């Protein structure tokens, strides 16, 4: 079990001196929000100190001090994670990158952008748009930092067509646990140059190094986009249509799934009933929202016509078109607000973010509903039907917290076992943090888990970077 030192007055003075005035906070000066992310059910852990960094050099100086004094360091962006990834389990120092929020440079010849990790996803999207460019990864949480997205290899709605965050990271500047600064990757389209430490760093949740600068790939912004909402009577019919759409060479940007319950919750919360609960006098059981993008309006019309034919064969109730600026705004506001809507109507909440082969989504959803009913837990779900990534929320307004946790554990244990049976993965895009470590271990098996631990020890032998996360057992015995 790792042992750490507390931040003494002397170390505090060194840390304070490493950054400018007003950016080091000790004990009660620390923002209490640094004790949790957006899933507080996994516990709150206050750090002893926090620092708002502004440059790679500052991060390096801080890591040197922490390495020399064996102080644990947990890197934090906007704190929008859902698995306790940025929560300082071992106390120590929270290193916050929010102030590193500058977009440094566009290279219009190579379509790349260089930026700091604290830039928010929505700000990058808007800024790239001004240059006629698009950053394709599109996770639902737009106020997350791009650094956080890279640390979790966030996916998002456009993954069906464009892939995930990993596919757009060309290079990173990283500060290692001992304060050394390394450059991983280059601004090139392909590489066959040794182990890819770049891709090891992506998705490593701040356990291998601190990302301080990123070079990302952009694409020319598509001129046209249109979405089709396809409502079905049942979840099964809805999901069965997805492979048919994918096989039809329509190249959709996203295929989003929503069941009737989440649509009702969202409409009640937002006052925005853009997704109909009844179509042609029939109740909608589930819908998919299919989005096409391109550079030719006629081409998109042809894709919609083909989608209409597939929908008819799949016994869809109708195909509704989201084409105007106003309906697009409404539809995506409603879709992006699903989690907020669930949070607003729920006192106790826990989540899973599994990814299964697309054709097995209905089997998994039916199983989860059954588990929810058996254990007296309300289930809400939505997700990315196009890539099999499901966001499943266990909710309760009536249970005591301990009873809720006990019941949810039963559900989670069985659900992750089922996920493994279906050849799925523990997390599609929310990552492991400390909340899902046990399930990762069971999923990948002891050999692979041990390899992960050995990699961690190469990068961080004293285990000061984000202890207790992903595969790190150094805090075993501590509450997690």
Partner 1 sequence: MLNILVCVKQIPDIDLVRMDPETGNLVREGVPTLTNPLDLNALEAAVRVKERYGGHITLITMGPPMAESTLRECLAVGGDEAVLISGRPFGGADTLSTSYSIVKAAEMLGNFDLIFCGKESMDGATGQMASQLAERFNASQISCCSKIEEISGGKIRALRTLEKGTELVEADLPCLLTVEKDNFFGRLPNLEAYLASKKAEIRVLTENTIDGLEMEKIGVPGSGTIVPEIYAPKLPEPGQIIKTGSVKTDVGRLMSLLVEKGSV
Shortest CB 25 distance to partner 1, Å: 5
Nearer to partner 1 among residue 73 and residue 226 (C-beta): 226
Find the binding residues for partner 1 in span 246-275 (CB under 8 A): 271-274
Is residue 82 a contact partner of residue 42, using CB atoms and an 8 Å limit?
no
Q: Does 228 participate in binding partner 1 (rule CB under 8 A)? A: yes
Paired tokens of 307: 């989608």
Residues 6+ apart with CB under 8 A from 232: 238, 241, 284, 285, 286, 287, 288, 314, 315, 316, 317
Question: In the complex, what is the shortest distance from the CB of residue 273 to partner 1, in angstroms, rounded to a whole number?
Answer: 5
**Residue 188, interface with partner 1 (CB under 8 A)?**
no
Q: Does 31 bind partner 1 (CB under 8 A)?
A: yes
**By three-state DSSP, how is residue 171 classified?**
strand
Judged by beta carbon, residue 264 or residue 425, the one nearer partner 1 is 264
Would you count residue 304 as binding partner 1 (CB under 8 A)?
A: yes
The stretch among 132-140, 215-223, 297-305, 348-356 that binds partner 1 (CB under 8 A) is: 297-305
Give the one residue of 308, 363, 413, 444 binding partner 1; rule: CB under 8 A.
Answer: 308
CB of 29 to partner 1, least distance (A): 4
Q: How far apart are the first and last CA of the chain?
A: 14
Q: Are 220 and 108 in contact (CB under 8 A)?
A: no
Q: Which two tokens stand for residue 46?
A: 């206050």
Q: Percent helix, strand and coil across the chain, each rounded to 5? A: 40, 20, 40
The radius of gyration computed from the CA coordinates of the chain, to the nearest angstrom, equals: 23
The verdict on 327 binding partner 1 (CB under 8 A) reads: yes
Looking at the Cβ atoms of 59 and 228, the one nearer to partner 1 is 228
Specify the residue, 299 or 301, whose C-beta has the smaller distance to partner 1. Answer: 301
Segment lying near partner 1 (by CB under 8 A), choices 120-128, 151-159, 322-330, 341-349: 322-330
Quick one: which of 326, 366, 410, 448 contacts partner 1 (CB under 8 A)? 326
Report whether 364 contacts 358 (CB < 8 A): no
What does the block give as tokens for 377?
A: 């837990």
- 47-76 residues in contact with partner 1 (CB under 8 A) are 50, 52
What is the SS3 assignment for 396-445? Answer: ECCCCHHHHHHHHHHHHHHHHHHHHHCCCECECCCCCCCCCHHHHHHHHC
Nearer to partner 1, 93 or 304 (CB): 304
Cβ 304 to partner 1, closest distance in Å?
A: 6
CB-wise, 130 or 190, nearer to partner 1?
Answer: 130
229 lines the binding site for partner 1 (CB under 8 A): yes
Of 216, 221, 223, 218, the C-alpha closest to 132 is 221
Determine, following the binding rule CB under 8 A, whether residue 356 of this chain makes contact with partner 1.
no
Select from 108, 321, 333, 451 the one that contacts partner 1 (CB under 8 A): 321
CA distance to 116, 229, 357, 459, 475, per residue, from 390 (Å)? 30, 18, 11, 32, 30
Question: How far apart are the C-alpha atoms of 206 and 181, rounded to whole Å?
Answer: 15
The answer to whether 37 contacts partner 1 (rule: CB under 8 A) is no
Question: Helices (H), strands (E): how many in the chain?
Answer: 15, 20
Show the site string, 364-403: x = touches partner 1 by CB under 8 A, - = not: ----------------------------------------
Q: Is 30 in the site for partner 1 (CB under 8 A)?
A: yes
Burial of 23 (0-12, 13-18, 19+ CB in 10 A): middle
Site residues (CB under 8 A) for partner 1? 22, 25, 29-31, 33-34, 50, 52, 228-229, 271-274, 276, 301, 304-305, 307-308, 318-327
């Amino acid at each position: 079990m790792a042992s750490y030192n507390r931040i003494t007055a002397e170390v505090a003075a060194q840390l304070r001196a490493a950054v400018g005035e007003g950016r080091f906070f000790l004990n009660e000066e620390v923002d209490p929000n640094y004790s949790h992310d957006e899933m507080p059910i996994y516990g709150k852990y206050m750090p002893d100190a926090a620092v708002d960094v502004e440059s790679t050099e500052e991060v390096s100086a801080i890591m040197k001090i922490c390495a020399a004094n064996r102080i644990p360091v947990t890197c934090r962006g906007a704190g929008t994670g859902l698995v306790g990834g940025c929560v300082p389990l071992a106390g120590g120092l929270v290193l916050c990158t929010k102030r590193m929020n500058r977009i440094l440079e566009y290279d219009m010849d190579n379509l790349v952008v260089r930026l700091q990790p604290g830039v928010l996803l929505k700000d990058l999207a808007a800024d790239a748009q001004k240059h006629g460019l698009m950053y394709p990864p599109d996770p639902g949480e737009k106020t997350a930092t791009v650094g956080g997205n890279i640390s979790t290899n966030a996916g998002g709605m456009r993954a069906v067509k464009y892939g995930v965050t990993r596919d757009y990271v060309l290079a990173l500047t990283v500060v290692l646990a001992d304060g050394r600064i390394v450059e991983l990757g280059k601004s090139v389209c392909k590489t066959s140059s040794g182990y890819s430490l770049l891709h090891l760093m992506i998705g490593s949740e701040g356990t291998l190094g601190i990302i301080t600068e990123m070079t990302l790939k952009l694409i020319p912004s598509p001129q046209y986009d249109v979405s089709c909402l396809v409502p079905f009577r049942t979840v099964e019919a809805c999901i069965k249509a997805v492979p048919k759409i994918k096989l039809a060479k329509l190249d959709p940007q996203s295929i989003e799934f929503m069941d009737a319950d989440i649509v009702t919750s969202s409409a009640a919360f937002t006052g925005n009933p853009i997704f109909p609960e009844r179509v042609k006098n029939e109740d909608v059981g589930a819908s998919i929202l299919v989005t096409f993008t391109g550079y030719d309006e006629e081409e998109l019309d042809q894709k919609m016509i083909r989608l209409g034919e597939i929908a008819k064969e799949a016994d869809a109730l109708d195909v509704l078109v989201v084409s105007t600026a106003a309906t697009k705004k409404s539809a995506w506001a409603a879709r992006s607000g699903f989690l907020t809507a669930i949070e607003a109507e729920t006192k106790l909440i826990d989540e899973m973010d599994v990814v299964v082969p697309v054709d097995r989504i209905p089997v998994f959803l039916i199983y989860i509903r059954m588990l929810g009913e058996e254990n007296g837990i309300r289930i809400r779900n939505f997700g990315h039907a196009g890539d099999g990534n499901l966001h499943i929320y266990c909710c309760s307004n009536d249970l005591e917290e301990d009873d809720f946790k006990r019941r949810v554990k039963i559900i989670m244990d069985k659900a992750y076992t089922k996920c493994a049976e279906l050849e799925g993965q523990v997390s599609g895009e929310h990552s492991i943090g400390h909340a899902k470590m046990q399930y990762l271990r069971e999923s990948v098996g002891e050999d692979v888990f041990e390899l992960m631990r050995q990699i961690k020890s190469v990068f961080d032998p004293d285990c000061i970077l984000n202890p207790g996360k992903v595969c790190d057992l150094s805090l075993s015995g501590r509450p997690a």
